[in-house]
Structure 1
Amino acid sequence: MLQHKQPVAVGAERQPRIHLQRHIERFTLGGLLLTALLVGLVTLLPMYQHLREEIDQRTAFDTQLLSQTADNLLDRFENTAAQLSSRSEIRNALERYDDGKIGLDELRAFSAPRLQDALVHSPEIAGLVRLDARGEPVLSLRERIPAELWPLPAASGQRSERSVPVLLDGRIALLIGTPILSREGRRLGTDIAAFRLEKLAGRLDAIPLHPATHSHLIHLGSGQVMHVQTPALGLSEAPAACPLRGLLPRVGAGLDTESALPLGRDGRQLAFIRRLDGHPGWAIGLLIDRDRLYAAARADLLWPLLGILLLAAGGGLLTWQVIRPLSRRLEAQARDLELAASVFECSNEGIVLMDAGQRVVSLNPAACCLTGYDEAALAGRPFGALVAAESSDVPFDSLLARVADSGHWLGEAPIRRADGSTFIARLSLAAVCDEELNAHHFMAAFADISKFKEEEARVHQLAYHDRLTGLPNRVLVQDRLQQALLKARRTGSRLALLFLDLDYFKQVNDSLGHAAGDHLLQAVARRLTDSVRASDTVARLGGDEFLILLEDIPGAETAGNIAAKLVNALQSPFPIDGHEVRIGSSIGIALYPEHGEDAARLVQSADAAMYRAKEGGRNRYVFHTGRRDAAVGA
């Protein structure tokens, strides 16, 4: 009996152990698979969403860039039309014709060659019609523009009038009607200029976009949606079924999309819309196939997905063979290290890891790309070698010591590339500490922000400097004058304000043209700047008026000496476009505090003195006295 029961007992004991072992194995593998699935969802879904947001941001930026390009070109069309209508010699001929002093044939003989010469420099103009004061055409150049398409400005208006996009000789064009005004502001006639939009299509097509993107130019007033094709084909009217047409009521109500806007029931197409800042009646629209747009985001998830699958499989095999708490801990640490390494390798920011002595241990591909160094070239070198200390306000030698105490630092610093050039970077420093809060490593993360800095400087230049001469404009010189007055009140110092107006500048404009006048203003600006101290401010108020601010002067004699120097400097002839141009200047001088204690009073006093200088014979400077101005010839 005992010999017969023994085998049964052994088999009965073995079966539960096998089932238990298989149950543990299945439970462990199932847990690992579930963990892998959750890790994949938690990791890949946010990553995919982030990649899509980056693509949306890039596309929104492309839309903004397209709108700025279209804005600039429409501004150029209007400026070109205004320049044609303001040419003084042709305008004067039209005025004589309107007054009956010359006939139509004489007007055409005089105006046609001059306007044709101007059109040579404006190839985007397809046709030009000039109307007299009664609205009758007196001259037509290049292509014919039907009268029913003319955008005529209001009879009493002085602003140009734009048409809706029209078909001219089978191609889309924009007509601009510009009033021609006499010096007294009397309406002499109207110019109707037709601008081909092929150049606009070429400018927009030159901006690199996603291959799945179709860009459109939209005229909100007429509801026209124009498809931007190649520069050779220009613009074409979008089909009636174009989904962007359904968005026009919302765009007209103020819709601007900074993110993708799904279209249709299935949302297969996405739209980005942006109105032109300078021309709110126009908009740029991008139409994109959703699947093709986000294909790159899905492709970028392939390697992380494969990494997660491989990590899950390897961890499952290890845990299946050796189920111990230590192996689980090691596996968790391995996952953390893999994730950290993935972030390190895939980050768009440059990341540099340093040891406790601030020497480079490793750097990621983005850091190599930004600096031009490979990892071997920087390994073991101090990180401070990457910072251009000679052009930095950051005391970098002691900065990492401060980071060791505070734990982190964020700011801007110039980073030196391998070729010796530098770029401005947003730099973040952090200390890696042990359990006793002792820093054993440092980490630096940086990104190139040079383009943002350049754009910021460009915006500042446009806002506070004159576009023609580069001198400070009225806004900037007013601010500097306010600051100079605060300093003078605080220290008891004196300052002078010189109001300068060019003599005979109008004759130069009328005889040689506005281009020569612009060149003369630029040359005058250079002479004025060269004739004063580096601490003084020379500003252009507009036209041929300049303002010179002299700070910390001993007295009126110094201001007079500088004014005399300016008068003498502008007496020398200017070589302008093959001509020797001679002009003069009239300068009014106001002193602080004798002639005013605030900015407005000083400017008013200097302006009044300048008119005294002109009345006294010009080419001289005059001090403001309060009752009458003391003139001093130069």
Structure 2
Amino acid sequence: MPNRTADQLARPQGQSIPRLQRRLQRLLAIGVAATTCLVGLATSLPMYLQLSNKIDLHAELDVQVRALASSHLLEHMADTAMQLTSRSEIRRMLERYNAGEIELAELQAFTAPRLREPLAQAADVLGLVRLDARGQPVLALRQPVPREHWPIPAADQQLPRLVGPLLIGDTPVLLVGAPILSPDGRRAGTDIAAFTLDRLRDLLPMTDGYSGDMQIHLINVAERRAVHVHDADTALLATPDWHPLFAALRQASDLPLHAVRLPEHERLGALVAFARPLPEHGDWAIALLSPRDVLYAGARAELLWPLLGILLLGLAGGGLIFMLARPLLQRMLEQSQSLGLAASVFEHSNEGILLLDERQRIIGLNPAGSRLLRCRLAELEGRRACEALLLDTSEADCAAMWAQVSRTGSWQSEVTLLRGDGEAFSAWLSLAAIYDEQRRPSHFTGLFTDISAAKEEQERILQMAYHDRLTGLPNRSLVRDRLTQALRQARRQGSLLAVLFLDLDRFKPVNDTFGHAVGDLLLRAVAERLAQTVRDSDTVARLGGDEFLIVLEDLDDVAMAERIAGRLVEALQQPFPIDGHVLHIGTSIGIALYPDDGSDAAELVRKADAAMYRAKDNGRNRYAFHDQRQRTLTD
């Protein structure tokens, strides 16, 4: 009886051991799986967020650059249309026709050949219609422009009006309505020019690093019109009005849009949108649209190997734990997995990674960071990050940066870092704090990536957008900004400012006789001579063709503006040795003064332009003030 009882008692104990083993195995399996998941999340989530932010930043920079380039293209179209309207002899004939002094046939015979000449240099003009003061067509060149789309500016509007994108036949176009103004500002007529969007097609296609599923849209927000392109091998396509992008633009209180998730569409799926308005054209915008899966596919792909490594390490660690069944080994293996994973991420990341102690001294640098900084850890170890790497950062700024990291746990911004060879480069730096059990920062990490190439591309586009390609002088957009700033300063200081509008005399015969190549060389020489004649503080700009604009700031008196104008007339009277020829030209200059002649940039430019025409009418090669009482001096 006692033996039987002992057997009965032993049996449950024997049966409890496998159950305990299975329970321990289940707990170990759960622990291994949970640890693997936590390590995977702790490693992959920050990496995925960093990669996603990098993709978003790249997309935003791309949209910003394309917006600048597209704005420059619209400015080019508007400037081209305004140059057609500024030809004084054609305008005078139109004014005579408006007054009933000549017949339509005479007007057309005079105007057509004189407009065909500049149109020959404007290959992107598909068609041109000239209207009289009553809005009736008097001349049409190249392809017809449908009347229902004519963008006629309002009677009091002196700037071009842009409409589109539209289709003429199968060709996407943008229509520009340019007012033809007499010297006194009255409307003599209107030019309606239809521009093809071939140059836009070269700006919009996706470049390397983007999927063909992405699209770039040029949008006329006010008119709900847009065109888009997939890649360089496809034509521009009209964006349908049902596209969810239009709904997103309506719902947004303001542009730009940053990584906005559009509602899922039955045809297009789930899209992410980036949009930015065009500078100087607030009703126009550039938008980049991409399927969500496509946009962040690269980020997920870069996480594949780390996640696979985490999974394999988890399986291997679990097998060892189950085989040895030792809790201590289990802990060691888990720590080994975590350390190995962290080391793998640290060693193989494409981003530069810094490790710092609680006093922000450098204690670690991964291989990618060494390549970016061109130095080894030994050269940086023990030095404070601000002193060793951050350029142009004061002690106060550095202290504020670390205070934010300690308080909020993170900080990120564009900075200038210093390489080991002394070279500086632009970088995107993300700092994060690592806390101990008392929630005090014990260490810090810094992830950085080189964005110099993106910055250089942005600066190149800005140079193209705000400077004349032929002469390198500021263009119409930049000089308008500088004149507006100069007027603000003149108002604050109560100083005198002058606007000089220059038109070259006898330039057209030189261009016709010796060709456009010599004409271009002459324009460059004129630009250089103008810049040498004025002060360093003055602005010399080319408006287009043979027209230049000069802004004279901080003048002592009217006589000072007169002396500078006289020197300019004299300088351009001197011969120009160009390509084996000695060329003689001159200039007619109109002068408008602030505050006597106007208080805003557009008014001063218009009055200086009118004064220039009076100088031409008085015999050319001279200058004239807008106000005759400020006197006119001939050479």
Q: TM-score, normalised by structure 1?
A: 0.66
Q: 1:417 to 1:71 in 2, by over 3 A?
A: farther
Q: 1:473 to 1:525 in 2, by over 3 A?
A: farther
1:305 to 283, 286, 307: 307
- Deviation larger for 175-184 or 329-338: 329-338
Q: For residue 274 of structure 1, what is the aligned residue in structure 2?
A: 275
Assess if the C-alpha contact under 8 Å between 1:126 and 1:143 holds in 2: yes
Assess if the C-alpha contact under 8 Å between 1:586 and 1:619 holds in 2: no
- Give 1:183 deviation, angstroms: 0.6
**Letter aligned with residue 176 of structure 1:** V
Q: C-alpha distance in 2, partners of 1:83/1:584?
A: 18
Assess if the C-alpha contact under 8 Å between 2:93 and 2:107 holds in 1: yes
Q: For residue 182 of structure 1, what is the aligned residue in structure 2?
A: 182
Q: For residue 595 of structure 1, what is the aligned residue in structure 2?
A: none
- Give 1:180 deviation, angstroms: 0.9
Of all paired residues, the percent bearing the same amino acid is: 35
Q: C-alpha distance in 1, partners of 2:275/2:319?
A: 54
Q: For residue 482 of structure 2, what is the aligned residue in structure 1?
A: 473
Q: For residue 141 of structure 1, what is the aligned residue in structure 2?
A: 141
Q: For residue 581 of structure 1, what is the aligned residue in structure 2?
A: 586
**Letter aligned with residue 170 of structure 2:** G
Assess if the C-alpha contact under 8 Å between 1:563 and 1:587 holds in 2: no
**Letter aligned with residue 309 of structure 1:** L
- Deviation larger for 452-461 or 50-59: 452-461
SS of structure 2 residue aligned to 1:144? coil
Q: For residue 319 of structure 1, what is the aligned residue in structure 2?
A: 321
Q: For residue 167 of structure 2, what is the aligned residue in structure 1?
A: 167
Q: How many residues align?
A: 566
Q: C-alpha distance in 2, partners of 1:73/1:24?
A: 71
Q: 1:509 to 1:360 in 2, by over 3 A?
A: farther
Q: 1:74 to 1:254 in 2, by over 3 A?
A: farther
Q: For residue 531 of structure 2, what is the aligned residue in structure 1?
A: 525
**Letter aligned with residue 526 of structure 1:** Q
Q: Does 1:448 align with 2:450?
A: yes
Q: C-alpha distance in 2, partners of 1:469/1:579?
A: 30
Q: For residue 29 of structure 2, what is the aligned residue in structure 1?
A: 29
Assess if the C-alpha contact under 8 Å between 2:569 and 2:586 holds in 1: no
Q: 1:266 to 1:330 in 2, by over 3 A?
A: farther
Matching of residues 189-204 of structure 1 within 5 Å: 189-204=189-204
Q: For residue 415 of structure 1, what is the aligned residue in structure 2?
A: 418
Assess if the C-alpha contact under 8 Å between 2:503 and 2:588 holds in 1: no
Q: For residue 112 of structure 1, what is the aligned residue in structure 2?
A: 112
Residues 29-86 of structure 1 deviation map (CA, whole Å, 9 limit, x = unaligned): 3332333344445554665566556545544554555444433322322222112111
- Deviation larger for 84-93 or 340-349: 340-349
Q: For residue 251 of structure 1, what is the aligned residue in structure 2?
A: 249
- Give 1:430 deviation, angstroms: 11
Q: 1:570 to 1:415 in 2, by over 3 A?
A: farther
Q: C-alpha distance in 1, partners of 2:60/2:592?
A: 51
- Give 1:132 deviation, angstroms: 2.6
Assess if the C-alpha contact under 8 Å between 1:131 and 1:191 holds in 2: yes
SS of structure 2 residue aligned to 1:276? strand
Q: C-alpha distance in 2, partners of 1:550/1:336?
A: 71
Q: C-alpha distance in 2, partners of 1:64/1:183?
A: 38
Q: 1:584 to 1:317 in 2, by over 3 A?
A: closer
Assess if the C-alpha contact under 8 Å between 1:570 and 1:585 holds in 2: no
Q: 1:128 to 1:379 in 2, by over 3 A?
A: same
SS of structure 2 residue aligned to 1:264? coil
**Letter aligned with residue 572 of structure 1:** A
Q: 1:274 to 1:430 in 2, by over 3 A?
A: closer
Q: C-alpha distance in 2, partners of 1:98/1:126?
A: 27
Q: Does 1:571 align with 2:574?
A: no
Q: C-alpha distance in 1, partners of 2:490/2:225?
A: 50
Q: CA RMSD in A?
A: 6.1
Q: C-alpha distance in 1, partners of 2:289/2:416?
A: 40
Q: C-alpha distance in 1, partners of 2:37/2:57?
A: 29
Q: 1:76 to 1:7 in 2, by over 3 A?
A: same
SS of structure 1 residue aligned to 2:128? strand
SS of structure 1 residue aligned to 2:263? strand
**Letter aligned with residue 415 of structure 1:** L
Q: 1:19 to 1:223 in 2, by over 3 A?
A: closer
- Give 1:198 deviation, angstroms: 3.0
Assess if the C-alpha contact under 8 Å between 2:503 and 2:587 holds in 1: no
**Letter aligned with residue 95 of structure 1:** E
Assess if the C-alpha contact under 8 Å between 2:391 and 2:418 holds in 1: no
1:330 to 326, 329, 332: 332
Q: 1:262 to 1:303 in 2, by over 3 A?
A: farther
Q: Which has the higher contact order (CA 8 A, sep 6+)?
A: 2
Q: C-alpha distance in 2, partners of 1:303/1:225?
A: 41
- Give 1:415 deviation, angstroms: 2.7
SS of structure 2 residue aligned to 1:263? coil
SS of structure 1 residue aligned to 2:346? helix
Q: For residue 261 of structure 2, what is the aligned residue in structure 1?
A: 260
SS of structure 1 residue aligned to 2:174? strand
Q: TM-score, normalised by structure 2?
A: 0.66
Q: For residue 366 of structure 2, what is the aligned residue in structure 1?
A: 364
**Letter aligned with residue 249 of structure 2:** V
- Give 1:309 deviation, angstroms: 1.5
- Give 1:112 deviation, angstroms: 2.6
Q: 1:519 to 1:149 in 2, by over 3 A?
A: farther
Q: 1:523 to 1:252 in 2, by over 3 A?
A: farther
SS of structure 2 residue aligned to 1:309? helix
Q: 1:306 to 1:167 in 2, by over 3 A?
A: closer
Q: For residue 604 of structure 2, what is the aligned residue in structure 1?
A: none
**Letter aligned with residue 423 of structure 1:** F
Q: C-alpha distance in 2, partners of 1:523/1:276?
A: 37
Rg larger in structure? 1
Q: 1:16 to 1:130 in 2, by over 3 A?
A: closer
Is there any run of 5+ residues in structure 2 with no aligned partner, and where? 437-441, 468-472, 512-518, 594-610, 616-620, 624-628
Assess if the C-alpha contact under 8 Å between 2:505 and 2:587 holds in 1: no
**Letter aligned with residue 234 of structure 1:** A
**Letter aligned with residue 304 of structure 2:** L
Q: C-alpha distance in 1, partners of 2:432/2:42?
A: 27
Is there any run of 5+ residues in structure 1 with no aligned partner, and where? 435-439, 486-495, 531-536, 589-610, 621-627
Q: C-alpha distance in 1, partners of 2:390/2:10?
A: 84
Q: C-alpha distance in 2, partners of 1:251/1:411?
A: 29
Q: C-alpha distance in 2, partners of 1:619/1:266?
A: 66
**Letter aligned with residue 182 of structure 1:** S
Q: C-alpha distance in 1, partners of 2:477/2:532?
A: 8
Residues 474-512 of structure 1 deviation map (CA, whole Å, 9 limit, x = unaligned): 4655787899x8xxxxxxxxxx9786676x945749988
Q: C-alpha distance in 2, partners of 1:79/1:107?
A: 24
Q: For residue 212 of structure 1, what is the aligned residue in structure 2?
A: 213
Assess if the C-alpha contact under 8 Å between 2:474 and 2:540 holds in 1: yes
Residues 158-198 of structure 1 deviation map (CA, whole Å, 9 limit, x = unaligned): 34344444332322222222221111122222211111123
Residues 425-457 of structure 1 deviation map (CA, whole Å, 9 limit, x = unaligned): 4679999999xxxxx999876443545599699
**Letter aligned with residue 482 of structure 2:** N
SS of structure 2 residue aligned to 1:205? coil
Q: C-alpha distance in 2, partners of 1:122/1:350?
A: 49
Assess if the C-alpha contact under 8 Å between 1:69 and 1:204 holds in 2: no
Assess if the C-alpha contact under 8 Å between 1:500 and 1:585 holds in 2: no
- Deviation larger for 264-273 or 131-140: 264-273
Assess if the C-alpha contact under 8 Å between 1:274 and 1:284 holds in 2: yes
